[in-house]
Structure 1
Amino acid sequence: MKKYLLTVILILTLTLSFSTSLLAQNVPIDEVTKITVEGNEYVSDFEILNAVQTEVGDQTDQQALRSDMQAIFDLGYFSDINIVFENYEGGLNVIFEVVENPVLKEINISGYEEIYTAKEVRQALDLQLETVLNVKKMNENLKAFQEKMQNDGYILARYRDVNISDQGVLTVKISPGYLDSIEIKGNTKTKNDVILREMPIEAGEIININKIQRGYQNLLRLEFFENINPELERVESEQNLAKLVINLEEGKTGRLNFGGGYSSTDGWLGFVDVSEKNLFGNGQNIGAKWQFGDTTTYSLNFYEPYLWDSKYSFGFSIYDRESERTNDADQDYIRESRGGSVTFGRPLPNDWRTSLRYRAQDTEEYWSDDGTEIYDNSLRSLTLGFSRDTSNSRFHPTSGSINNFEIEHAGDFIGGEMDFTKFNLDTRRYFPGFSDHAWALRMKLGLSEPRTPLDSEEYDLGGSDSLRGYERSDFDVDTRDNNNLLLFNVEYRIPFNESFTGVLFTDAGNVWEDRDSIALNDLRYGYGLGVRMNTPVGQLRLDYGWDDNQDGQLHFSIGNTF
C-alpha cells in the first residue's frame, strides 16, 4: 500500500536585520566599557544580556558582536536588533537596540475542530496571553503539532496561514485535508457498495491514513480478493483534496471440496463441502456440508454481514449430526443431535462486536446393539456474546489479539428441558518470534451453573482442539459432571513456506464438577510438536502430543487450533 506524505509546513519565520553600522562598516576598535539594552519594554535586560558573550573590558570584535546579535535574536522575542556605539569613560558603550514582538492578546485557531479539541490545540501551542510573543517557541510548537497530526494519521494536514498582527492577534489556519472521492478499480463481481461499506472513511471526510489502513484490513478479512492496493492521489492542491483509489484483483470465492481421512475426534470420515463467500457479489456467505463415516453430519449455514444495508448482521445454521461413541466401560452408543441457531450481531466502538443467538437442539442417545434409548433431551438457549479481533492475519497472525466472551442461558422462559447458565471466555494473543516465527497463546475458561444435569452440554477436554496428548474419554467420568473448564495453550509457529508450518506446543488444563475445586495445581499437562498444511480444503493439522505419563497420542484435524 502506497502512502503519500502530502504535507506542507508553513510556519511563521522572521528575518534578522543586522545594522549597516555593524555589517557594512568597520566596527570601531576600542575597549568595551559598558553594555546596555534599549527598546525592550517587557523582556528584562538581564535575560537579554545573559545571552551576550562580550564582556566589559573586552576589545570590540565584529564577529563576536555578530554572534551576540544572533544569540539575542535566538531568544525569539524580537523582530529586529541593531548595535550602536557611544563613547563612555574612555571606551565604548555597546548598545543593543531591540524591537520586541507584539504582546500576545488573542489566539485565533481554525480548521482543527473535526480532529482535536480547542484545549488540545492550545496545550500543544503552549503560548501565554499578555506576554511578548516568542517566535522561536511558537515555531518549535507548531512543528511539534505538525508532527502530532502526522503521527495521528492526518497525513495531508498543513498550516494554510500563520500570522501575527501588530495588535497582538495570532491567527493559525489549519487545512486538515479532505477526501474528494473513492474510486474502485478491478472488481468484476463484488459490488461497489460491498467494498465501500468496509471502509471507515467516506468522501467529504478528513483523510486519516489509519482509517484507510483499517479499511484495507477489513477488505483482506473478506477473503474476496487476491490483491488489494489503495492509493491516494492529489486532486486539488489549493483546497488540499485527494481521492482514494482502491485497486483490486478478485479471487475465487466459491468452493467445492470433497475428500476423506481420519480425525482423532471423529474417527474415519468423508466429506463434501460446498460454499460461496460472496454470494452474487453481495458479500453474503452460504455453505452446505455433508460429512459421513463414524460421524455423519448434514449442515447448512448462511450469513449476511449487513442486514438490509444496516449495521446489523444476521446468520442462521441448521444441522443434523449422528456420531458413534464409546464410554469408559467400552460400551458403544450413538448420539443424535438436530438443531439450529439464529444470530443477530452489531458492531461496537473500538472494534468490538456484540451478538445475540437463539439456539435450539434436540439430543438423543441410544445403545448401538439394540437401539435402547439412554438419553433424550431438548435444549433452548439465548447467548449474549462480545468479540474483538485485532489480529494482523487470519492464517499466520504475529500480533494483535482475539477475544470472545459469551453468556448462555437455557431453560426458564426460553423453554426446553435443560436449565443452566454458562460463562465462556476465550482470549488469544499473538507475538512475533524470531524472523517470521510467531508465538500464539490462548486461555479458555468455562463456568456453568447447572440447574439440571448438563449431559450433552458438559465441557469436553482432550483431543486436537484443546489438551493434546489426551483423548476426550480421559476426562469423561460417570461419577461427576464436567461443569467447569480451564485451559491454557502455547504454540511457537515456524513457517517453512507458504504451504507448511511447524509447531511446538504446550497445553495445560482440566475440568471440574464444582467451581470451588478449580486450582492451578490440579492441571494436566501435554506437550509436543506438529505440522500445518494449507490446502484448498483448508488448513490440515497433524499433532503428536505426550501426556503427564509420557504416553503419546496422534491428533489429526482440519482448521487452525486458535
Structure 2
Amino acid sequence: MRQFNCYQDVGNDKVLHMRIQIVILIVGMLVSWSYQVRAESELKNDTNLSSIVETDIENMDEPLPTSLASVERAEVSEKIVKDIQIRFLNNKDKWVDEKGRLIEGRTQKDFIIDNLRLKPGQIFRNDLFQKDVERLRRLNSFDKVNFVLEDSDTSVNIVYYIRENKFPSWSFGGGDNGDVGLYGKVGYQDANINGLNEQLDTSVQVSGKDVQFDTSFISPYRRGEPSRLGYSFRAFRERDLSRTFNDEIKLSNGSTAREGRFGGSVAVLKSFDDWDAALGLNYTRISLRDRDYNLARVDRLGSPLSVSGTGIDDLVTVSFAISKDERDRRSNPTKGSLLTLSTEQAIPIGLGKIASNRLLANYILYVPVSWIGSNGSTENTEMIALNLQAGTNIGEFPPANAFDLGGLNSVRGYGGGRVASARSYGLAAVEYRFPILRTVGGVLFADFGSDFGSSKTVLGEPGILRGKPGSGFGYGLGLRVKSPFGLIRGDLGISDQGEVKFEVTTGQRF
C-alpha cells in the first residue's frame, strides 16, 4: 500500500548541497532476525538460483526455458494452476543452506499468496500472472522477485523466488547547516513488521538549538482480509529556512525567516481493484520565526507571514487520496506508470480559522527505449521518464503553504523556491536515462514549472515582492550510482537565467 503524504511540497528537496556545508553520512544496516531454516525431505531442483532458469515478464512471448519442458505460453495459458510455491533466497541467491534446508524468510507466505490474483485451481492467465509479479515487486519488503513455471500435461506450478530487503536498518548522519548549525541524526526503518509488510520509519535530529523528529507507521490493507481496513499514523516536528520567505527580503531584525512545523495525521487505507485509497485526518501548526526562534509576524516590508497575523497558523484538514500504481517494481522502475490524485479540505479550527481546499495531481510514466542498449544492466535500463504535476489552493491559505517551485526535486538549475511561491502550479519534467556501467547510469533532463500568474493572489505576495519570475526552465545532466547506501543522484542543472547548480541527494527525481 502506498503511503499518502498529507502535504506535497514541490520545493521541499532535502538535499546535500555541494557548498561549504559538509555532511557525513554513515549508514549501518542491522538485521535483528536471522534467517531460519527448516528441513525439506527431498530437493528436486538445483539449489543455486544462478543455475535455475529465471523466466521474466518480458520473455513471456518466447517459449519457456527447456528445463521447464519448453511449453509455449499459449499452451500454459490453457492449463490449470495446480500449486503456488514461495521460496526465499539468501544473500547468495540460494534457497537452501549448506545442509540442504530451506531458507526461511520473515514474510508470511499466506500474506504473499493473498496478494496474488491467480490462485490454485484457476486457469493460467498471463495478464493476471504479470500483474501478480509486478505487485510483489512493488512491496517494500522485497528486494528481488523471480519465478519459474513448472508444467505437466494438464497443469502448471508457479514457483516464486523472493529475496527480502534487509530490515530493520539503522542510519546515522550529521552535518552543519545555516539554520541549526551542527547537528546529529539517527534513523530506524523496518518495512516488514510481523511479516505483513507493516512499515515503521522514524528519525530524530538533535542540534544545539532544537530537536526534530519524524515518525510514521503503516499497516497496509490486506487483500486476503477484505473486511479489514489498513491504517497509518504520523507525528513530526521539523524546522528549516523558509523557501517562501527567502533571504531576498529578511525580517526586521535582519534575520532570515525560519519555518517550523509540527503535528500529526491518522488515515484509513483500502484498495479497490487496481486503486489504492486513503482517508485521513491531519493537524499541522506552521510558525514563522527568526534565528533565535522568536515569532515573526511580518517581514521587513511589513508583509504578513501568516493568516492569523500572529506568525502561527493551524491547519486541521480532512484528506482523501487515490493512487493507481502500474510500475513494474517500486525501486527504480523500468516501465509502467503511477497516478495520484488528492484533495484536502481545511476545517476552520485554531489560529487563522483556515477553510481552504488543496487539490493535487501527479502522473509519472516510464517508457523503455533501446537506442543504445542496456549493456546487460538491469539497474540502469534505458528509458524515457516523464513527470507531470499540477495543484491549486482554493480559498485563503497560509502563505508558507504556497507551492514553492524551483530546486532539485522541482525545476533543477534553480535554488529551492526561487521560481515561484504560488497558489497554483504546473510542473513538467522529462528524463532520458541510459546505462554507463553496470551500477552507473546517466541522465539528460529538462524541467519546466509555472505559477500560471497565481503568485500575486498569495497573501502578502511573497513571490512577487522577492522578484521570483513565476515560471522557469532548467536542463542538464546527471549520474546515478548504485551504492550500499542506496541510489546516489548527482545533477548538474542550468536554469534559463544562467544559474548553474550541482547538487547531490539519494533516489531518483521521480
TM-score category (smaller protein): 0.5 to 0.7
Q: Which residue of 2 aligns with 1:182?
A: 84
User: 2:81 is aligned with what amino acid?
Assistant: L
From 356, 360, 367, give the equivalent of 2:283.
360
Q: Which residue of 2 aligns with 1:323?
A: 240
From 198, 222, 245, give the equivalent of 1:284.
198
Q: Which residue of 2 aligns with 1:471?
A: 415
Distance in 1, Cα, partners of 2:186 & 2:313: 29
Deviations 1:426-478 (A, max 9, x none): 1111122322321111111112212x2332221111111101111234246xx
User: 2:203 is aligned with what amino acid?
Assistant: K
Instruction: Say which SS state the counterpart of residue 434 (structure 2) adopts.
Output: strand
Q: Is the Cα contact below 8 Å between 2:335 and 2:365 reproduced in 1? A: yes
User: 2:216 is aligned with what amino acid?
Assistant: N
Instruction: Say which SS state the counterpart of residue 354 (structure 2) adopts.
Output: coil
Greater mean alpha carbon deviation, residues 366-375 or residues 486-495: 366-375
Q: Which residue of 2 aligns with 1:114?
A: none
Q: Which residue of 1 aligns with 2:492?
A: 544
Deviations 1:253-288 (A, max 9, x none): 221112246899999865322101111322211111
Larger radius of gyration: 1
Instruction: Say which SS state the counterpart of residue 470 (structure 1) adopts.
Output: coil
User: 2:145 is aligned with what amino acid?
Assistant: I
Structure 1 residue 335 corresponds to structure 2 residue 335: no
Deviations 1:128-168 (A, max 9, x none): xxxxxxxxxxxxxxxxxxxxxx88x77342xxxxxxxxxxx
Structure 1 residue 228 corresponds to structure 2 residue 145: yes
Distance in 1, Cα, partners of 2:288 & 2:161: 54
Q: Which residue of 1 aligns with 2:444?
A: 504
Distance in 2, Cα, partners of 1:416 & 1:205: 58
User: 1:467 is aligned with what amino acid?
Assistant: V
Deviation at 1:407, TM superposition (A): 1.4
Higher relative contact order (CA closer than 8 Å, sequence separation 6+): 2
Q: Which residue of 2 aligns with 1:210?
A: 127
Deviation at 1:386, TM superposition (A): 1.8
Q: Which residue of 1 aligns with 2:220?
A: 305
Deviation at 1:513, TM superposition (A): 5.5
The 1:307–1:381 alpha-carbon spacing in structure 2 relative to 1, beyond 3 Å, is: farther
Distance in 2, Cα, partners of 1:473 & 1:227: 37
Instruction: Say which SS state the counterpart of residue 275 (structure 1) adopts.
Output: strand
The 1:472–1:248 alpha-carbon spacing in structure 2 relative to 1, beyond 3 Å, is: closer
Q: Which residue of 2 aligns with 1:534?
A: 482
Distance in 2, Cα, partners of 1:255 & 1:204: 39
**Residue ranges of structure 2 left out of the alignment (5+ in a row):** 1-53, 65-71, 89-103, 298-310, 375-381, 458-468
Distance in 1, Cα, partners of 2:488 & 2:176: 11
The 1:315–1:549 alpha-carbon spacing in structure 2 relative to 1, beyond 3 Å, is: same
Q: Which residue of 1 aligns with 2:388?
A: 443
User: 2:488 is aligned with what amino acid?
Assistant: L
Deviations 1:394-429 (A, max 9, x none): 344332211111111112589982221122111111
Instruction: Say which SS state the counterpart of residue 446 (structure 2) adopts.
Output: strand
Instruction: Say which SS state the counterpart of residue 110 (structure 2) adopts.
Output: helix
Q: Is the Cα contact below 8 Å between 1:420 and 1:449 reproduced in 2? A: yes
TM-score calculated relative to the size of structure 1: 0.62
Greater mean alpha carbon deviation, residues 535-544 or residues 411-420: 411-420
From 67, 70, 76, give the equivalent of 1:155.
76
Q: Which residue of 2 aligns with 1:344?
A: 268
Deviation at 1:530, TM superposition (A): 1.7
The 1:531–1:234 alpha-carbon spacing in structure 2 relative to 1, beyond 3 Å, is: closer
Percent identity reads 24
Distance in 2, Cα, partners of 1:426 & 1:449: 18
